[in-house]
Amino acid sequence: MFGLELDIASVINAIVDFIVKHLGGLLRAISSVVENGFEAIVDGLAWPPAILVILALVAIVWLVARSWKLALGSFIGLSLIPMMGLWPYALDTLVLVIFSTAISLLFAIPIGIMMGISQKAAAIMKPVLDLMQTMPSFVYLIPAVMLFGVGKVPAMFATMIFAMPPAIRLTYLGIQEVSGEVKEAAISYGATRKQLLFDVQLPLAVPTIMAGINQCIMLALSMAVIASMIGAAGLGNEVLRSISRLDVGYGFEAGISIVFLAIILDRVTGAIHKRTKLEEGNREEAQA
């Protein structure tokens, strides 16, 4: 158009080729360790009868949420999955989501904190987050396959990148929402920058951070079907199989199983969010 050419593709390809050439051995080693750990957890959960695993998961739900209604609903939803013959695939999907979310949060929360305490970091990361959130999810599959091949590890990598931005943004937002009066009061009492962050800002930001964790989990679960295109086992792969066979009924069974997992995970993290907001309100009343 203007007599100029912008070849971004060649630059990106050169970067990926460089990483594969010089770090290929390390990436393969990481891939092997992660995949072995993934398989060990799935095999461990698949070894006992499904009802025992379901009861254990329901007990965890009750301990976390303290809601018998949610525990009962979780029991009913999880019990329907083995009745449809999809329990092994549900375990694959659940472990994939938990793994991906945990790794995402290991990076997302520190990055969000860094943005909250540094305007320069925030200025750099905001355009990056905009890019990550607007990039079509299928694009993440390409570097994942280039770096790790086909299988569960590239699926986890793509899911992790896709699910990370909301947790970063909401961690940053939670820290930014702490009022200036509260920070000034803490500083006037002699709080250092470290104490201000860990004893004031982060505790007050917990409800917003929990909302970010909730969004991270939901995005990781939504990526389950897409990630199955590069070798992720689980319910997403069964949805793809139903598409290839034009089997509407089987696709509905796999899809509704994903919905059950999504509702349970959403309600559990939502319950934690409500509890943290209630505790924050009680703390503010006590201080008043």
pLDDT per residue as tens digits for the range 25-49: 787 787 788 778 878 888 888 888 8
- DSSP states along 59-73: HHHHHHH--HHHHHH
Query: 252 versus 281: which is more confidently predicted?
Result: 252
What tokens appear for 253 in the block? 């069974």
What the chain holds in terms of domains, given with CATH numbers, is 8-287 (1.10.3720.10)
The pLDDT of residue 284: 55
Taking the C-alpha atoms of residue 10 and residue 13, their distance in angstroms, rounded to an integer, is 5
The pLDDT of residue 276: 67
Question: What single DSSP character describes residue 247?
Answer: -
The pLDDT of residue 280: 59
pLDDT higher than threshold 60 for residue 23: yes
What tokens appear for 243 in the block? 């598409």
pLDDT higher than threshold 60 for residue 287: no
pLDDT tens string 166-192: 999 999 998 888 777 777 777 777 777
Taking the C-alpha atoms of residue 92 and residue 43, their distance in angstroms, rounded to an integer, is 9
Q: Grade residue 261 by pLDDT with cuts at 50, 70 and 90.
A: confident
Question: What single DSSP character describes residue 7?
Answer: -
pLDDT higher than threshold 60 for residue 283: no
Q: Grade residue 279 by pLDDT with cuts at 50, 70 and 90.
A: low
Smallest CA-to-CA distance from 61 within 215, 274, 265 is with 265
The pLDDT of residue 208: 85
